Amino acid sequence: EAQVTQNPRYLITVTGKKLTVTCSQNMNHEYMSWYRQDPGLGLRQIYYSMNVEVTDKGDVPEGYKVSRKEKRNFPLILESPSPNQTSLYFCASSLNRASGNTIYFGEGSWLTVV
Partner 1 sequence: GDSVTQMEGPVTLSEEAFLTINCTYTATGYPSLFWYVQYPGEGLQLLLKATKADDKGSNKGFEATYRKETTSFHLEKGSVQVSDSAVYFCALTTLRGDSSYKLIFGSGTRLLVRP
* Subset of residues 1 to 60 that bind partner 1, contact rule: CB under 8 A: 4, 31, 40-45, 48, 50, 56, 58
Cα–Cα distance, 31 to 16 (Å, whole number): 30
d(CA 42, CA 29): 24
Site string for partner 1, 61-100 (x = CB under 8 A): -----------------------------x------xxxx
Give DSSP secondary structure letters for 44-60: EEEEEEEETTEEEE-S-
Binding site for partner 1 (CB under 8 A): 4, 31, 40-45, 48, 50, 56, 58, 90, 97-108
